[in-house]
C-alpha cells in the first residue's frame, strides 16, 4: 500500500541534538523529525528547507516524519560565505605582510597554529554532539578564538555547520574577534612594539 507523502518546511532544527520539527504546508500540526529519518544523511539540515515526508506515530502516539527528502535547492548562507572569505583573506594578508617585512613571522605562526587547533576542536565537538559524547566547553572554544584561533573558528563553523546559529555563542564569539584584532593592532603600534621589546629583553636577561 502506497503511503501518503506530505510537504512542509523545517521550521525548527537543533543540529547538536539532531532533531527538529516540520510545519506542513497546510499549516497543520508540527511533526517531529530526527536526523535518521532523512534519506540523504550526508546533507544535514540547517533549518528552513522544504521537504517531503511520510508520517507515522512513535510509541507514545506522537507524530513523526519518516523517509524525509529535500525538494528544494540547498540553502546558502551569504553571511556564512562572507565570513569564510573574510577569515581566509585575513590569513592571506598576514602572510603577505610577513613576506613584505611589515609583520613578524611569529605573529603569523601563532594565528596559523591556533587556527589549526581551533578547527580541530570544532570538528571534535561536532562529532561529540552527534554521538552524545562529552562536549568541548564553549569557554574553551572562545579562549582558542581569543588567542588567535578565530579564523579557524569561522572556517570550522562554516565547514561543520557548528555553533553558527546559536545567538548567545555568536555574541561572545564576535567579542573575542574584536578584542583579538584590537590587541593585534596595539601590539603592532609603536607602543606595542616597544612593549614586546621590553618583554623579550626581560626573558633574555
pLDDT tens figures, 128-168: 877 778 889 999 999 999 999 999 999 998 888 788 777 88
- Alpha-carbon Rg of the chain, whole angstroms? 23
Return the DSSP state at 36: G
- Output the CA torsion sign for 146, 148, 151, 155: negative
pLDDT above 70 as % of the chain: 89
Q: Could you tell me the domains of the chain?
A: 6-70 (2.40.50.140), 78-204 (no CATH)
Instruction: Report how far residue 7's alpha carbon sits from residue 22's, in angstroms, rounded to the nearest whole number.
Output: 9
Find, among 63, 44, 47, the residue nearest to 55 by Cα: 63
CA 178/CA 183 separation, integer angstroms: 9
Grid cell listed for 88:
581566509
Please report, rounded to a whole number, the percentage of residues in the chain having pLDDT higher than 90. 37
pTM here is: 0.63
Q: Give residue 77's pLDDT band: very low, low, confident or very high (50, 70, 90).
A: low
Amino acid at each position: 500500500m502506497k503511503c501518503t507523502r506530505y510537504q512542509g518546511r523545517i521550521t525548527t532544527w537543533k543540529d547538536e541534538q539532531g532533531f527538529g520539527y516540520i510545519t506542513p504546508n497546510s499549516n497543520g500540526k508540527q511533526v517531529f523529525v530526527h536526523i535518521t529519518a532523512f534519506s540523504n544523511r550526508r546533507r544535514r539540515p540547517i533549518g528552513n528547507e522544504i521537504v517531503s515526508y511520510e508520517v507515522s506515530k512513535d510509541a507514545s502516539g506522537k507524530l513523526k516524519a519518516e523517509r524525509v527528502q529535500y525538494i528544494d535547492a540547498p540553502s546558502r548562507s551569504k553571511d556564512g560565505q562572507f565570513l569564510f572569505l573574510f577569515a581566509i583573506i585575513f590569513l592571506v594578508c598576514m602572510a603577505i605582510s610577513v613576506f613584505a617585512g611589515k609583520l613578524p613571522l611569529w605573529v603569523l605562526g601563532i594565528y596559523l597554529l591556533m587556527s589549526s587547533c581551533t578547527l580541530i576542536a570544532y570538528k571534535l565537538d561536532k562529532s561529540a554532539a552527534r554521538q552524545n559524547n562529552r562536549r568541548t566547553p564553549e569557554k574553551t572554544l572562545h579562549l582558542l578564538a581569543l588567542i588567535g584561533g578565530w579564523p579557524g573558528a569561522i572556517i570550522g563553523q562554516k565547514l561543520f555547520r557548528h555553533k553558527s546559529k546559536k545567538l548567545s555563542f555568536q555574541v561572545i564569539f564576535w567579542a573575542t574577534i574584536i578584542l583579538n584584532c584590537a590587541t593585534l593592532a596595539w601590539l603592532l603600534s609603536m607602543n606595542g612594539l616597544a612593549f614586546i621589546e621590553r618583554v623579550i629583553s626581560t626573558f633574555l636577561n
